[in-house]
Chain A
Amino acid sequence: MGWIDVCSTDELQPDSGVGVAVAGQQVALFYMLKDERIYATSNFDPFGNANVLSRGLIGDIGGQPMVASPLYKQHFNLETGVCLEEDAVQIPVYPVRIAEGRVQINIGETA
């Protein structure tokens, strides 16, 4: 499907997450202030079976950027989607880019 425009960079929350709807899918966007990076993952928490990951706390564990589920606190690597507690579990992650102050993501392919 290629790059899809989702929101303005102003709508992101520094060091926090927001949910966006992209072509019928729920995506979580995270803005890591310290290294000026935006990450996109599925919003669905496969352990809690709920669309809540955008409301998780972000940071790093052992140098890996991560989001912690707000329900049962599993960590997911923001770059690979792999769960740090159970590496057989992986959530979808998507490429993100910024164009003229707008956030675009590509859900056609996974990173």
Chain B
Amino acid sequence: MKQTIVVIGNGMVGQNFLAGLVLSPAKAGYEVITFCEEPRAAYDRVHLSEFFSGKTAEDLSLVEDGFFADNGITIHLGDKAVAIDRELKTVTSAKGLTVQYDKLVLATGSYPFVPPVPGHDRPQCLVYRTIEDLEAMSAAAKTGKIGTVVGGGLLGLEAAKALKDLGLQTHIVEFAPRLMAVQIDEAGGAMLRRKIEALGVTVHTSKNTSLITDGEQCVNKMCFADGEELETDVVLFSAGIRPRDDIARACGLDVGQRGGIVIDNQCKTSDPAIYAIGECALWNGMIYGLVAPGYAMARTVVADLAGETASFTGADMSTKLKLMGVDVASIGDAHAKTQGAMVYTYQNGEQEIYKRLVVSADKKQLLGAVLVGEASGYGTLLQYCLNGIELPENPDALILPHRSDESVGLGPDALPASAQICSCYDVSKGAICCAVEAGALSVNALKAETKAGTGCGGCVPLLKAVLNAELAKQGYEVNTDLCEHFPYTRQDLYHLIRVEGIKTFAELLEKHGKGKGCEICKPTVGSILASYWNEYILKTEHLGLQDTNDAFLANIQKDGTYSVVPRITGGEISPDRLIALGQIAKKYQLYTKITGGQRVDLFGARVDQLPHIWKELIAAGFESGHAYGKSLRTVKSCVGSTWCRYGVDDSVSLAIELENRYKGLRSPHKIKFGVSGCTRECAEAQGKDVGIIATENGWNLYVCGNGGMKPRHADLFATGLDKATLIKTIDRFLSFYVRTADRLQRTSVWMENMEGGLDTLKAVVIDDKLGLCGQLEQQMQHVIDTYQCEWKTTIEDEDKLKRFRHFINSDLPDDNLAFIEERGQRRPADAEERKHFKMVEVA
């Protein structure tokens, strides 16, 4: 008969235990039952603040679809385990359920510590732990303007980011004299503070809150021991965690003096049938508030159940985080407490970088490090520290800036196979090399195969370095050539065209390519030339580069006819124009459909009809909608404050202005915008490449969203912008995309593939880390200044119009076209209908 394991708690560690257990031979011997107090199964608390930059509860979930059912695990959601009877070996839940156990695993986690300040339970005094807490924060932020975090540690800074993302003026109140007092030293804390304050967050240190009471301008007022006061709407406690050990305490298990369920090296509590793992467990007097040690405990229990020898013997507490866009890392003995330790410090006031190395007395071993402002060396330093690799002769070279080509990084080849690359999932270099050998040839494949890099993500650069070194060793060459004619990427070609001032495909092919070109490189180069020089795309030397859509300035359909889409900026159209559109469509018997981008698509135009249709459209005041181009398509808008009861700002006017600004911009792929006049988001801006939402504090800008085949929620990029800043930011963003994306790569995939992702994008576009922004703005201005309606230019050029015929030697139309009427409009006849029905005359 099978025994029963009961797991109390389905948080990150509880779930990690279950995921490990189902892969273990131990699983066969057990029925598994788990209790989860929250209404949803395990989710990623480490990335909780991403809830406010667009991630949903589903995105944050750590449980694969069908996980419980497929593995025969019973989960009681929304039912808290409340009592353990160790005599009878039963667990009883809040809903009154009692289950028998043979083995019990406590993964009850921790709760946020709320200082017992009078008034701590007032309205809008919140904590930051669960998705429900986040929803309460969202609700509070809707009515408030100011938010204050109590606690300046890791979690406090994360919480401050969340408040800032919610559009609140943010304060941090810390009891200690500096931020992140546990992890970093005084000078590092000072640098961090300057950087955080530069982001518009006010930091108050050495502040002891004595009372929270009614505010005058805000909901709450915080009074400090030094007599100062702070008005704030939201108070968010993030002052540390406490282990949830009440259920263990109640059944008489040993707990520590300051809390925590005492465990041994096998994670067993004082009752050998009961284990405790994660933040509720006290090992050797330590509570581990990070996820990686919790996972290590979970692995230990799985191994113990399988009868393997395994021990938890403490964990490395090194961390690397991006806190509000600032890199912060702490490794090992950051405070140099080891006997005889020596310290090297590097401080760069201008760039606000602080680095500190702690080394052993003989200068051979790295004991610890602190990095603020720039943490790219984290992976290397951590490897030195964890694997006891002997330091170079001058250890300070590891933190001094590189002023030449010399590399002091620890290449992946220098690491032993046992080196842990991913600490969240305990993946060694050896395991990664095996996966590469077995065919995982990309970072994504490695993530899927080994889980490395899917926890906190901090090891991804190192993972990539190991991958590339392995690929090189195995003789793989990563081919990024555009096609057989150009041994370059699109980005390389853009660079060549820009730097060498190349103006035609022929010149580029002559200098940098071979052969005659193909349907890959020709449109790509045509697009780059159009993005950079913005010449008329049907100029003789450019004509042969254009796909049929661009070549005929219309969209080809399955029967070889075209559809026509005039621009309707922001989706706003007067009755007169709408009538004109209807009359033209009727005259040419065009099938008419409203598009998702708030325009009208006219289908079934023969190539010889296109110029006639456009002469009439232009006379009625329309211009090209560029629906045929890889270029800006539409700026969708809701009606906004002009009419809507809820409108916060004039979304239509902004949409029209943006569409007119960027119309005609040729890009690696199509670009769509959306502008919503309030957070109800009727324009679906967060599903667009560029999305803008009006708030009381200004415009919020979202980027890199996508609908279509692979939907992606856009990321919040900047908040509370005035119009001038908004436009400047979009100018830079689009120019950078045009410059660096691959062929046919939408902004979403472009950003996801960028090293450093959204943070890199922000660094380049907002902080101008590459010093490119001047160029990017100038490039966009050039495109705006040289805009032309391609159809207007074309109908004014008799020579160009000659091409708009099916035969150059006859006025006959294509005799293969056949239409059939359906719901009062013409559409192409299908193969069956061609046989059985009388065709509508081709007129």
Are A and B physically bound partners?
Answer: yes
Residue-wise, chain A 31-68 has the 8 Å CB interface mask toward B (1 for contact) of 01111000000001000111110011111111101101
Q: State which residues 802-823 of B face A: CB under 8 Å.
A: 802-803, 805-810, 812, 814, 816
A selection of 17 A-B contacts at a CB cut-off of 8 Å is: A6-B809, A7-B808, A7-B809, A14-B540, A20-B807, A20-B810, A21-B809, A21-B810, A50-B558, A50-B560, A51-B560, A52-B556, A59-B519, A60-B518, A71-B556, A71-B558, A71-B560
What is the minimal beta-carbon distance from A83 to any residue of chain B, in angstroms?
14
Q: Which 4 pairs of residues, A with B, have the shortest CB-CB distance?
A: A15-B544, A70-B548, A68-B519, A50-B560
B516 interface residue per 8 A CB criterion: yes
Q: How far is the CA of A49 from the CA of B818 in the complex (A)?
A: 12
What is the minimal beta-carbon distance from A71 to any residue of chain B, in angstroms?
7
Tell me if A58 and B484 are in contact (CB < 8 A). Answer: no
What is the minimal beta-carbon distance from B606 to any residue of chain A, in angstroms?
11
Tell me if A55 and B544 are in contact (CB < 8 A). Answer: no
A26 interface residue per 8 A CB criterion: yes
Q: How far is the CA of A58 from the CA of B809 in the complex (A)?
A: 21
Choose one: B484, B516, B547, B831; the contact of A65 (CB below 8 Å): B516
Q: How far is the CA of A49 from the CA of B484 in the complex (A)?
A: 29
Q: How far is the CA of A7 from the CA of B807 in the complex (A)?
A: 10
Choose one: B547, B807, B809; the contact of A70 (CB below 8 Å): B547
Residue-wise, chain B 515-546 has the 8 Å CB interface mask toward A (1 for contact) of 11111011100000000000000001001110
Tell me if A34 and B551 are in contact (CB < 8 A). Answer: no
12 more A-B contacts (CB under 8 A) besides A59-B516, A65-B516, A71-B558? A13-B544, A13-B803, A19-B806, A20-B807, A20-B810, A21-B812, A50-B558, A57-B518, A58-B516, A59-B521, A60-B515, A63-B515
What is the minimal beta-carbon distance from B736 to any residue of chain A, in angstroms?
28
Residue-wise, chain A 1-36 has the 8 Å CB interface mask toward B (1 for contact) of 000001100010111101111000010000011110
Chain A residue nearest in CB terms to B514: A60
Chain A residue nearest in CB terms to B816: A51
Q: How far is the CA of A7 from the CA of B802 in the complex (A)?
A: 13
What is the minimal beta-carbon distance from A109 to any residue of chain B, in angstroms?
21
B186 interface residue per 8 A CB criterion: no
Tell me if A50 and B816 are in contact (CB < 8 A). Answer: yes
Residue-wise, chain B 478-520 has the 8 Å CB interface mask toward A (1 for contact) of 0000001100000000000000000000000000000111110
| A34-B516, A50-B560, A51-B816 as given contacts; A21 in contact with B807, CB under 8 Å | yes
What is the minimal beta-carbon distance from B661 to any residue of chain A, in angstroms?
31
What is the minimal beta-carbon distance from A67 to any residue of chain B, in angstroms?
9
B271 interface residue per 8 A CB criterion: no
Q: How far is the CA of A99 from the CA of B681 in the complex (A)?
A: 65
Residues of chain A with a CB closer than 8 A to B805's CB: 19
What is the minimal beta-carbon distance from A32 to any residue of chain B, in angstroms?
7
Tell me if A32 and B516 are in contact (CB < 8 A). Answer: yes
Chain B residue nearest in CB terms to A55: B548
Q: Which of A61, A62, A65 has the most CB of B within 10 A?
A: A61
Residue-wise, chain A 57-98 has the 8 Å CB interface mask toward B (1 for contact) of 111111101101011010100000000000000000000000
Q: How far is the CA of A60 from the CA of B516 in the complex (A)?
A: 6
Interface of A is mostly: strand
Q: How far is the CA of A106 from the CA of B552 in the complex (A)?
A: 29
Residues of chain A with a CB closer than 8 A to B558's CB: 48, 50, 71
B352 interface residue per 8 A CB criterion: no
Q: How far is the CA of A34 from the CA of B515 in the complex (A)?
A: 9
Tell me if B518 and A68 are in contact (CB < 8 A). Answer: yes
Residue-wise, chain B 783-809 has the 8 Å CB interface mask toward A (1 for contact) of 000000000000000000011011111
Residues of chain A with a CB closer than 8 A to B515's CB: 59-60, 63
B-to-A contact residues, CB < 8 Å: 484-485, 515-519, 521-523, 540, 543-545, 547-548, 551-552, 556, 558-560, 607, 802-803, 805-810, 812, 814, 816, 831
Choose one: A19, A33, A35, A59; the contact of B808 (CB below 8 Å): A19
Chain A residue nearest in CB terms to B510: A34
What is the minimal beta-carbon distance from B486 to any residue of chain A, in angstroms?
12
Interface of B is mostly: loop
Q: Which of A11, A60, A63 has the most CB of B within 10 A?
A: A60
Tally inter-chain residue pairs, CB-CB below 8 A: 99
| A14-B540, A57-B544, A59-B519 as given contacts; A52 in contact with B807, CB under 8 Å | no
Choose one: A13, A26, A44, A55; the contact of B556 (CB below 8 Å): A55
Q: How far is the CA of A39 from the CA of B805 in the complex (A)?
A: 19
| A26-B814, A34-B516, A60-B516 as given contacts; A16 in contact with B807, CB under 8 Å | no
| A48-B558, A51-B814, A71-B556 as given contacts; A14 in contact with B516, CB under 8 Å | no
Q: How far is the CA of A103 from the CA of B552 in the complex (A)?
A: 24
What is the minimal beta-carbon distance from A37 to any residue of chain B, in angstroms?
10
| A60-B515, A68-B519 as given contacts; A18 in contact with B803, CB under 8 Å | yes
Residues of chain B with a CB closer than 8 A to A18's CB: 803, 808
Residues of chain B with a CB closer than 8 A to A71's CB: 556, 558, 560
Tell me if A58 and B556 are in contact (CB < 8 A). Answer: no
Chain A residue nearest in CB terms to B523: A57
Residues of chain B with a CB closer than 8 A to A35's CB: 516
What is the minimal beta-carbon distance from A93 to any residue of chain B, in angstroms?
18
Tell me if B544 and A20 are in contact (CB < 8 A). Answer: no
Residues of chain A with a CB closer than 8 A to B816's CB: 26, 44, 50-51
Q: How far is the CA of A73 from the CA of B549 in the complex (A)?
A: 13
Q: How far is the CA of A52 from the CA of B519 in the complex (A)?
A: 15
Residues of chain A with a CB closer than 8 A to B809's CB: 6-7, 11, 20-21
Tell me if A61 and B518 are in contact (CB < 8 A). Answer: yes
Q: Which of B517, B805, B806 has the most CB of A within 10 A?
A: B806
Tell me if A57 and B547 are in contact (CB < 8 A). Answer: yes
Residues of chain A with a CB closer than 8 A to B540's CB: 14
Residues of chain B with a CB closer than 8 A to A50's CB: 558-560, 816
Q: How far is the CA of A41 from the CA of B99 in the complex (A)?
A: 78
Residues of chain A with a CB closer than 8 A to B518's CB: 57, 59-61, 66, 68
What is the minimal beta-carbon distance from A107 to any residue of chain B, in angstroms?
14
Q: How far is the CA of A35 from the CA of B547 in the complex (A)?
A: 22
Q: How far is the CA of A68 from the CA of B520 in the complex (A)?
A: 10
Residues of chain A with a CB closer than 8 A to B807's CB: 19-21, 26
Q: How far is the CA of A55 from the CA of B543 in the complex (A)?
A: 11
Residues of chain B with a CB closer than 8 A to A61's CB: 484, 518
Residues of chain A with a CB closer than 8 A to B803's CB: 13, 18
What is the minimal beta-carbon distance from A57 to any residue of chain B, in angstroms?
4
Tell me if A57 and B519 are in contact (CB < 8 A). Answer: yes
Chain A residue nearest in CB terms to B543: A16
Tell me if B544 and A58 are in contact (CB < 8 A). Answer: yes
What is the minimal beta-carbon distance from B817 to any residue of chain A, in angstroms?
9
Residues of chain B with a CB closer than 8 A to A63's CB: 515
Residues of chain A with a CB closer than 8 A to B545's CB: 57
Residues of chain B with a CB closer than 8 A to A48's CB: 558, 560
Tell me if A52 and B560 are in contact (CB < 8 A). Answer: yes
| A21-B809, A50-B816, A52-B556 as given contacts; A13 in contact with B543, CB under 8 Å | yes
Residues of chain A with a CB closer than 8 A to B812's CB: 21
What is the minimal beta-carbon distance from A1 to any residue of chain B, in angstroms?
16
Q: How far is the CA of A53 from the CA of B545 in the complex (A)?
A: 15
Choose one: A16, A34, A52, A62; the contact of B484 (CB below 8 Å): A62
Q: How far is the CA of A71 from the CA of B556 in the complex (A)?
A: 8
Chain B residue nearest in CB terms to A34: B516
What is the minimal beta-carbon distance from B408 to any residue of chain A, in angstroms?
45
Residues of chain A with a CB closer than 8 A to B814's CB: 26, 51
| A11-B802, A14-B544, A51-B816 as given contacts; A57 in contact with B810, CB under 8 Å | no
Chain A residue nearest in CB terms to B802: A11
What is the minimal beta-carbon distance from B811 to any residue of chain A, in angstroms?
10
What is the minimal beta-carbon distance from A77 to any residue of chain B, in angstroms?
13
Q: How far is the CA of A58 from the CA of B543 in the complex (A)?
A: 12
What is the minimal beta-carbon distance from B415 to any residue of chain A, in angstroms?
42
